[in-house]
Structure 1
Amino acid sequence: MAKLWGGRFEQSTDEFAEGFQSSIGFDSRMYREDIMGSIAHAKMLGAQRIIPIEDAEQIVEGLKSILEDIDAGRVEFSVHDEDIHMNVERLLTERIGDTGKKLHTGRSRNDQVATDFRLYMKRMADETIGKLTQLCGTLVDIAEENTDTIMTAYTHLQKAQPTTLGHYMMAYFEMFYRDIQRFVDCKKRTDVLPLGAGALCATTYPIDREMAARELGMSGITRNSLDAVSDRDFAIEYLSASSVCMMHLSRLCEEIILFSTNEYGTLRLSDAYSTGSSIMPQKKNPDMAELIRGKTGRVYGDLMTLLTVMKGLPLAYNKDMQEDKECTFDAADTLKACLEVMNGMLKTAEWNKERLRAGAGLGFTNATDAADYFVKNGMAFRDAHAVVGHLVLYCEQHGKAIDELSLDEIRQFAPDAREDIYEAISLETCVNMRSVPGGPAPDMVREHIRQAKMLLGDL
């Protein structure tokens, strides 16, 4: 089959090399973007009288029919046409004849592929934001139901202070909302049109790039033709944002895995998001959470792939850049799947509120509040810190919690302690007294939830 670019070649491409350099196996998913970009280009060519209007209209109708047939599964792409762009152009010429050959006037595959890729990644950003918004909504719903559900907060994976499940969930809301912001910001820099940059130095035809941008719903055009065809920052940004998001998912998965163990026993995953063992009949494994945790490394690898591809490329386009799509597509597919699974896993999980509260009562999580009690009664904080440290040591030696000590035992270390210390170090007081913006007190968490709903509503 003759190549559309084969005029200066005397010898056909080696058969193995043909497959090696072909990208249709993975860039065919951009068929819609490619056809819509070509429709916009054809309309512009007609409006600018670069080609006759009737030819432009015939091209547009031909492209629409190709899109309809691809959507319906009636088109089989050819590896001999290398990529989605050449496949579509070949189909167009077969359908409408030589008029189809006019479509490529004033453009190159370099600016064409950059346009397709930007349009596709703009859609991927929107889809990712949509799934993140759903997950954030689920986190807010769980938090709203659990503003009074006391649980343990940890540092160094050691019991630290009491908090609430609502406060805990809203911490992850903040992480994933930042991810939304990153993808929104990434989309802004993706949403510019490179079409018109040509192979690298634009074109001599009187094209209207702004018209093409409007036709495609893009916010503007690129400002430099060399940069336009050689830039893949927008894909790297998407991969970077995806990597950060996967890191957040992995952190949450790690805690889901821990909380669902028999030792913690505070979270029960739905059977729909668990698996069993082929040999141990009692097992219920958090495989979905483990897979998300594992796939985080895969997305990190996708980011490193594209960074490495781009790190030594001179201006302008180089064939190396064909390696931009498989890693980016893989990251987008992986991230969206992980967000979908995480959302379902959280929606169907059951929290053991009694076990959460009981756990918070162990490990001296109220020790800081005991120190604060003494400070509020006139003791210097460092002295109060030492007193409570002695109390904790005494408790460990006698197998007690601080609030299980008698007042006489407490007075061995703090002679001025009064009966009201027990109220001051109750778990409810420990949480409720932290009523500062961002704190775990139920009124503060409810305010956080109110703000979160506003933020999600503005997306």
Structure 2
Amino acid sequence: MTEKQTWSQRFESALHPAIARFNASINFDIELIEYDLTGSQAHAKMLAHTGIISSAEGEKLVTALEQIRQEYRQGKFTPGIDAEDVHFAVEKRLTEIIGDIGKKIHTARSRNDQVGTDTRLYLRDQIQQIRQQLRQFQTVLLDLAEANVETLIPGYTHLQRAQPISLAHHLLAYWQMAQRDWERLADVNKRVNISPLGCGALAGTTFPIDREYTAKLLEFDHIYANSLDGVSDRDFAIEFLSAASIIMVHLSRLSEEVILWASEEFRFITLKDSCATGSSIMPQKKNPDVPELVRGKTGRVFGHLQAMLVIMKGLPLAYNKDLQEDKEGIFDSVNTIKNCLEAMTILFQEGLEFRPQRLAVAVTEDFSNATDVADYLAAKGVPFREAYNLVGKIVKTSISSGKLLKDLTLEEWQTLHPAIEADIYEAITPKQVVAARNSHGGTGFNQIRQAILAAKKELSMI
């Protein structure tokens, strides 16, 4: 049997070894140790500040907690399964260092509000790191967009050639997605940055604590107004996992496009050796492993969100052991997002090259300029729906004769409608097709340059 735990004399014997292993979380919640130490230091200062313990005792607790931090960083403090969780591990070590004074750290505190505090401190820190990574990713996308304002690429709907667009416009669409991710995480952080410390197990405490004092020390914006809610709330975790899932959606969509662009069928990009692998039996292959892995890892983050929702859906107030299951999903989602953002940033910064000549050909080998013929006729006074039907007919005729619209003679054009003149050829060139779409937010070159300036301004404000 294992060593008897510290909860109370209510228990006459220790846990069965298998149950002790099943119950323990130290193997993963050790991730929270630095945050646990920081929260405990704030709690010790508050206990001294309110006179619940003496100033000397408070100082000893704070100093010993800092010693544990240094021991952990140096690899000298490595608690095992017998510690059950990070909180007991720290308290046990604290008592070893300063004796019975160490046992006072848990005065006016429960593991329930303690773990809630630790998790929020961790997630607040990670959110800021992820937001910084998003900015780095946006910077790379913006640099690539600025270098390709007048590089054209086929635009698709239903994965069918639709209209030519600027490559910069395409890249800036993902910049905007990342911007929403960046903003969304800031909003999530508002719900993360609320202190549950002092809520106790569920009902508060009889001690004259000062919750606002610890919240200020830990730089929380607010404190929970209801102790039951404070220890049992995981809305912030669900919100984070939801925001994390959306980030992965965006990265996965971009990954799918890179995979298509790198294929022999598209040939829009070339993958550099630094961000691709080969086949074990097919020497000609160059595989897009980075975007494929990002696309695959997206599912695990989705899974963590679903798991968190399922955990919470049937829990009565207040704390339940089920909530121990929140951490691994949060930790893994954080690590997955950070790794994927790093990999995609490297990929777009130095791991691929667009092929301008191939792209230039690609935007001339289809009927994606058909809408511009309809717009041309509409500008001549032909009702758009009538123009639309007329162009549909000539596209059908051109396909049957093996011609593209640019190959039609002026006589053939005027057979379609007498209002068509020689300027039709300029109107349907890919570059003019793109340049003409100068509506706000469109792919016109002037609009793109304005969008780049706006994006630069946004990035410079941080």
TM-score, normalised to structure 2's length?
Answer: 0.98
Does residue 426 in structure 1 map to residue 426 in structure 2? no
Match of 1:178 in 2: 180
- Write the deviation string for residues 384-422 of structure 1: whole angstroms up to 9, x where unpaired: 111111111121112111111110111221223111111
Match of 1:396 in 2: 399
Match of 1:46 in 2: 48
8 Å CA contact 2:4, 2:13 repeated in 1: no
Aligned pairs for 1:144-163 (under 5 A) are: 144-163=146-165
Point out the more displaced range, 410-419 or 128-137.
Answer: 410-419
Task: Select the residue among 337, 355, 361 that pairs with 2:364.
Answer: 361
Aligned pairs for 1:185-224 (under 5 A) are: 185-224=187-226
Aligned pairs for 1:28-427 (under 5 A) are: 28-348=30-350, 349-427=352-430
Point out the more displaced range, 447-456 or 27-36.
Answer: 447-456
* One-letter amino acid of the structure 1 residue matched with residue 302 of structure 2: Y
Match of 1:448 in 2: 451
How far apart are the structure 2 equivalents of 1:416 and 1:106? 86
* One-letter amino acid of the structure 1 residue matched with residue 247 of structure 2: C
SS of 1:41's partner is: helix
How far apart are the structure 2 equivalents of 1:221 and 1:270? 51
**Superposed displacement of residue 139, structure 1:** 0.9
SS of 2:106's partner is: coil
- Write the deviation string for residues 165-194 of structure 1: whole angstroms up to 9, x where unpaired: 100000111111111111111111100110
8 Å CA contact 2:154, 2:363 repeated in 1: yes
Point out the more displaced range, 407-416 or 239-248.
Answer: 407-416
How far apart are the structure 1 equivalents of 2:182 and 2:346? 19
Percent of aligned pairs with the same residue? Answer: 47
Task: Select the residue among 16, 39, 48 that pairs with 1:14.
Answer: 16
What residue ranges of structure 2 are gaps of 5+ in the alignment? none
How far apart are the structure 2 equivalents of 1:74 and 1:141? 45
Point out the more displaced range, 53-62 or 445-454.
Answer: 445-454
SS of 2:9's partner is: helix
SS of 1:264's partner is: coil
The alignment of Structure 1 onto Structure 2 pairs a total of residues equal to 459
* One-letter amino acid of the structure 1 residue matched with residue 458 of structure 2: L
TM-score, normalised to structure 1's length?
Answer: 0.99
How far apart are the structure 1 equivalents of 2:275 and 2:226? 49
- Write the deviation string for residues 46-99 of structure 1: whole angstroms up to 9, x where unpaired: 011100110000000000000011011111112112110110000000000001
SS of 1:452's partner is: helix
Give the superposed CA RMSD. 0.9
- Write the deviation string for residues 203-245 of structure 1: whole angstroms up to 9, x where unpaired: 1111111110111111111111000000011111110001111
SS of 2:334's partner is: helix
What residue ranges of structure 1 are gaps of 5+ in the alignment? none
